[in-house]
């Protein structure tokens, strides 16, 4: 199954693939060259389809844990000062998403959307220390009955040129449901209250909707 945000791009990629394959068949006499061009066109289509895949995942919904909002690798676990919303210290967990990861963003916990804001910005590589403050990004805060306020931030990378965010102020959201999409490589930061038990390690592979990032009884 594919994400709705990829519908136009998938259609264009399919059209281009068919056109290239037909033109190569008609205009190129060299069998080997024709096969290579058609193979590259099909590979391009497969990459696009792979990028916009949206696997259905059964989520164990509970207020006792925060789940990974995206697929990727855990690249940051540290106590930091969060300047935009909390203006105090929080535990930050960051997940880097390569172009081959699923790029669907899922709500990490149940609750009320208290804050949702888009910031235009740069396109530094997603793992750059300044990416969280200088890149194009969205900041979303969910108020949960157990964890209090938790902030997650979608950050564009060097290739990403569009962040899709469905969260709006006042919405009640359900853990694990579709929260948006980031196109072509990115990162998500999660800011948790101090004292929260972190359940992941650096360089661990996270699976969106499945991996438990943090717990609180």
Lowest mean pLDDT among 9-13, 72-76, 80-84, 212-216: 9-13
Residue ranges of domains in the chain = 4-51, 65-215
Lowest mean pLDDT among 61-65, 133-137, 174-178: 133-137
Decide: 197 and 215 in contact? Cβ < 8 Å. Answer: yes
Beta bridge pairs of residue 96: 73, 187
Lowest mean pLDDT among 5-14, 154-163, 174-183: 154-163
Report the C-alpha gap between 103 and 54 in whole angstroms.
8
- The CATH fold assigned to 65-215 is Glucose Permease (Domain IIA) (2.70.70)
pLDDT tens digits, residue range 110-130? 999 999 999 886 656 555 556
pTM of the model: 0.81
Active site residues: 186
- DSSP label at residue 37: H
Decide: 187 and 160 in contact? Cβ < 8 Å. Answer: no
Average pLDDT, the chain: 87
Q: What is the mean pLDDT of residues 168-193?
A: 90
Q: Which residues contact 33 (CB under 8 A, 6 or more apart)?
A: none
């Amino acid at each position: 199954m594919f994400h709705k945000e990829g519908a136009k791009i998938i259609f264009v990629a399919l059209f281009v693939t068919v056109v290239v394959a037909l033109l190569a068949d008609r205009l190129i006499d060299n069998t080997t060259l024709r096969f290579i061009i058609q193979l590259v066109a099909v590979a391009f289509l497969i990459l696009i389809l792979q990028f916009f895949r949206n696997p259905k995942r059964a989520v164990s919904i509970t207020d006792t844990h925060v789940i990974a909002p995206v697929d990727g690798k855990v690249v940051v676990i540290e106590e930091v000062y969060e300047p935009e919303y909390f203006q105090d210290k929080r535990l930050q967990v960051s997940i880097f998403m390569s172009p081959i990861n699923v790029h669907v963003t899922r709500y990490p916990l149940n609750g009320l959307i208290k804050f949702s804001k888009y910031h235009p910005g740069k396109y530094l590589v997603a793992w750059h220390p300044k990416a969280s403050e200088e890149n194009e990004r969205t900041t979303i805060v969910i108020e949960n009955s157990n964890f209090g306020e938790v902030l997650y931030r979608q950050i564009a990378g060097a290739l990403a040129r569009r962040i899709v965010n469905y969260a709006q102020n006042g919405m009640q959201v359900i853990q694990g449901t579709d929260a948006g999409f980031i196109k072509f490589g990115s990162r998500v930061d999660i800011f948790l209250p101090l004292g929260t038990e972190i359940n992941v390690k650096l360089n661990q592979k996270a699976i969106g909707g499945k991996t438990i990032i943090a717990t609180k009884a």
